[in-house]
Amino acid sequence: ASVWTDPRVKDMLDNGYVLITLMVDDKERLPEVIEVNENGRTTKLKTIGDKWSYLQRHKFGANAQPYYIALNNQGQPIGPSYAYDENVDKYIQFLQTGLQNYKIGK
């Protein structure tokens, strides 16, 4: 994402976060097709990208790309999510909110 090239953002990500990227466009086949029930019907997850896309929809109720969310050590959201927006100052605010909420145990 273009916001990541800003030195302030890079510093915050390097020093305050464990960054995990789930590539929803990854076409690599899964070792086995995974069948899930989604919205009352069976969906087949065939690729790594399918799996990560399903996780995003199922866990966070969103299907935006890119989609950012700060999580605590238990995998729970600690602040609002952040969808595509190239405004660096807004992204820094998103990162700062996540760090503040993490420090106070939200």
What is the per-residue pLDDT across 17-73, written as a single tens digit (0 to 9) for each?
999 999 999 999 999 999 999 989 999 999 999 999 999 999 999 888 899 999 999
Name the nearest CA neighbour of 50 among 61, 34, 65.
Answer: 34
Structure token pair of residue 53:
């896309």
Name the nearest CA neighbour of 1 among 87, 98, 62, 100.
Answer: 87
Q: What is the pLDDT of residue 76?
A: 94
